[in-house]
Amino acid sequence: MEKIKIGIVGLGGISQISHLPILSKMDDVEISAVCDSEISKCKSISQKYNVKRYFTDVDKMLEECEDVSAIIVATQTSVHKDIAKKCLEAGKDILIEKPIARNYKEAKIIVDTAAKMKKKIMVGMNNRFRNDMMLQRTFTKAGEIGEIFYVKAGWIKPKSSDQKWMLQKVLSGGGVFLDNGIAMLDIGLWILGFPEIKKVSAVNYYHSTKSVEDSSIVIVNFKNKATLTVEVSWGIQREGELFYCNAYGTEGSSSINPFRIFKKMEDQLFNITPKKLEMPANPFKKSYEYELKNFIGALKGNNDLISGGKDALKVMQIADAVYRSAKSGKEIIFK
């Protein structure tokens, strides 16, 4: 079996927790090169995963690794645009961690470059690949709960990383909304089928932060009269983590974590959740496994990408409106 050769740029938490251990166990993949600004990290990881080449400079990696088919970009957000553009122009397909960029303008440069070079681009929206989210999408897309008019999604948890750059707007692009809210916005839009946007209204809070928001409440209205709400926070005072996505339709409703589906039949509401549902012990880890399998499958021509650049641009268009609305205190109207 000919292996797909992969390079990884950025060896922080998500690469070490997810990308490296998962890819190293895939029979049809070879981690061919790694790159990070810290030489000690490059050396230790290349030894641990038997990676033959390591670099501290992306340009040198691209110059010396013509055999690498695709690159995973898992750096801090401020350099996503430049690194992704270089990788695409070097003829590499890419998987880029969320958010794709700090704003819509940067995201469009990446997506336009991919189109120009005719290369694949996947954005790491791993929550689409959770077992419960995939089940919910299957049921809702099949029309089991009728026409969906309201999706309510949220994620309340600590910061994804303790790295200082996450709290510096110039580097991260934003706070909890770009960290967690972007993922909830994405799955909400995915469940709704990415309808045309009508208006966006948002409120951001800075209770324990200065440069970026630590809580964000967002309402998105669509031209088909559907509504999406997103609430995310690093600091809401409650016990434990909260992750949810509830969809309400004209004939029923569905929710995840745990997965449930209710359907109205003859004026009564019935629980039609399949009784024998096997959920993984660690849905977070499993979602990355499915995500990477989708990416590798697309590189081999076996399947389409589930989370591509076109969707990412729509997500970032709303993200920009979220920050404009929160700053101005006014709703943003889309023409």
Strand order in the sheet with 215-222: 268-271, 260-265, 252-255, 242-249, 148-156, 227-233, 215-222, 197-205, 332-333
Q: Does the pLDDT of residue 283 top 90, yes or no?
A: no
Q: Which sign, positive or negative, has the C-alpha torsion 84, 86, 87, 92? A: positive
Q: For all residues of the chain together, what is the average pLDDT? A: 96
Residue 190 corresponds to which tokens in the numbers above?
A: 């995915």
pTM here is 0.95
| Average pLDDT rounded to a whole number, residues 282-310 | 95
d(CA 333, CA 335): 7
How far is Cα 77 from Cα 98, in angstroms, rounded to an integer? Answer: 8
Residue 2 — very low, low, confident or very high, per pLDDT cuts 50/70/90? confident
The per-residue pLDDT for 282 is 86
User: Is the pLDDT assigned to residue 90 strictly greater than 90?
Assistant: yes
Average pLDDT estimate for 122-150:
96
Residue 159 has pLDDT above 90, yes or no: no
- The answer to whether residues 120 and 299 touch, using CB atoms and an 8 Å cutoff, is yes
Confirm if 123 and 311 have CB atoms less than 8 A apart. yes
Confidence category of residue 182, pLDDT binned at 50, 70, 90: very high
Task: Summarize the confidence of residues 42-63 as an average pLDDT.
Answer: 97
pLDDT tens for residues 188-206? 999 999 999 999 999 999 9
Tell me the domains of the chain and their CATH numbers: 4-126+289-308 (3.40.50.720), 128-281+314-333 (3.30.360.10)
* Residues 63-72: tens digit of each pLDDT: 999 999 999 9
Give CA–CA dist 10/172, Å, rounded: 15
Say what angle helices 309-328 and 104-117 make with each other, to 10 degrees: 170
